[in-house]
Amino acid sequence: MELHHHYFFILLSLAFIASHAANLSPEVYWKVKLPNTPMPRPIKDALHYSAADKGDVQKLRQPYGALSLYNSDTNKDLNENYAVTPYFFETDLHQGKKMNLPSLKNYNSAPILARKVADSIPFSSDKIEEILNHFSIDKDSEGAKMIKKTIRMCEEPAGNGEEKYCATSLESMVDFTSSYLGTNNIIALSTVVEKETPEVQTYTIEEVKEKANGKGVICHKLAYPYAVHYCHSVGSTRTFMVSMVGSDGTKVNAVSECHEDTATMNAKALPFQLLNVKPGDKPICHFILDDQIALVPSQDATQVAEN
């Protein structure tokens, strides 16, 4: 009988914790679930906006990053649209290397909504009309096209070797990441750009530091009226912090993700065409934009602040 009461107490306690967690603010939820992980700047910034604020969807670009390693949508003139490639090889990451790169700023100020608020708003292709009405967006506008594209990206099946999840709240991002990585001892890294930069310029690498090697998750902030993150596993990766300076003097501390095993990825995907290599040939790397997050397991996450 005493053992029975003991288990009943444990179940009651777990139910109380779950109920209490559901009522926490996104910021407090992060601190409770990831106690050793300092919150990166893009998350902090997005939490400062009120739920009434809306990101300007029409001014945003969809992130390139690892999404394109699985996407075979390359019906573009590569020479015309990608005169400067955002992809490179791991061997390029060394002091003194000069790289022509697009800007790592994305200007995505879409606010993070609490889970209970985000869950009350439809998010599916068959509810497009209701979604556009909710945000007062004209169905023929560029913003409407971006919204449709974001939802379509989230509804597409994962690529080979990929696990994906579109997080419409910070709480769901935390849950997916900690569940996939199997730990709440996590490093959260983001790119920091000192100031506004030209669309394209030459950067010189000053320092490269490896931060992780193995399992990881990248969360790409998509174009949407509120914060929606395309979070996915990216197989075995090496994660680096790369200090660079642009030709205009801009200092950048950028997160580089290098995909070590590309053998299962789509041979028609954009990076392979731009770099003229085949899946499995060599690791492919890219920097993440300043509104994206890289999350990797850590033995001592407290040593890592914003970067």
199-220: per-residue pLDDT in tens? Answer: 899 999 999 999 999 999 999 9
CA distances for 271 relative to 2, 72, 254, 262, angstroms? 62, 10, 19, 11
pLDDT score of 225:
93
Between residues 161 and 60, the one the model is more confident about = 161
In this prediction, what percent of the chain has a pLDDT beyond 70? 78
Mean pLDDT of the chain: 83
pLDDT score of 89:
95
213-266 pLDDT tens trace: 999 999 999 999 999 999 998 788 999 999 999 999 999 999 999 999 888 888
pLDDT score of 24:
86
CA distances for 43 relative to 15, 220, 281, 291, angstroms? 28, 12, 35, 8
Residue 51's pLDDT band (cuts 50, 70, 90): very low
pLDDT score of 197:
82
Residue labelled with tokens 């569940």: 179
| 25-47 mean pLDDT | 94
Q: Which two tokens stand for residue 68?
A: 């394109």
- Using alpha carbons, select from 40, 55, 231, 254 the residue that is nearest to residue 135: 55
| 136-155 mean pLDDT | 93
Residue 61's pLDDT band (cuts 50, 70, 90): low
User: Is residue 178 over pLDDT 90?
Assistant: yes
Between residues 94 and 163, the one the model is more confident about = 94
pLDDT score of 295:
96
Q: Please, which residues have CB within 8 angstroms of residue 188's CB and are 6 or more apart in sequence?
A: 34, 37, 38, 39, 40, 43, 293, 294, 295, 301, 304
CA 20 to mean position of chain CA atoms: 28
Pairing relationship of beta strands 164-167 and 229-233 according to DSSP bridges: antiparallel
User: Is residue 18 over pLDDT 60?
Assistant: no
User: Is residue 114 over pLDDT 90?
Assistant: yes
pLDDT score of 136:
93
pLDDT score of 26:
95
pLDDT score of 3:
44
User: Is residue 272 over pLDDT 50?
Assistant: yes
| 160-179 mean pLDDT | 93
User: Is residue 6 over pLDDT 90?
Assistant: no
Cα–Cα distance, 60 to 102 (Å, whole number): 15
Cα–Cα distance, 89 to 28 (Å, whole number): 39
pLDDT score of 60:
60
CA distances for 170 relative to 9, 43, 131, 208, 232, angstroms? 30, 8, 20, 30, 15
Between residues 62 and 188, the one the model is more confident about = 188
In this prediction, what percent of the chain has a pLDDT beyond 90? 63
**Is residue 149 exposed (0-12), middle (13-18) or buried (19+ Cβ within 10 Å)?**
middle
Residue 302's pLDDT band (cuts 50, 70, 90): very low
Cα–Cα distance, 270 to 274 (Å, whole number): 6
**Is residue 9 exposed (0-12), middle (13-18) or buried (19+ Cβ within 10 Å)?**
exposed
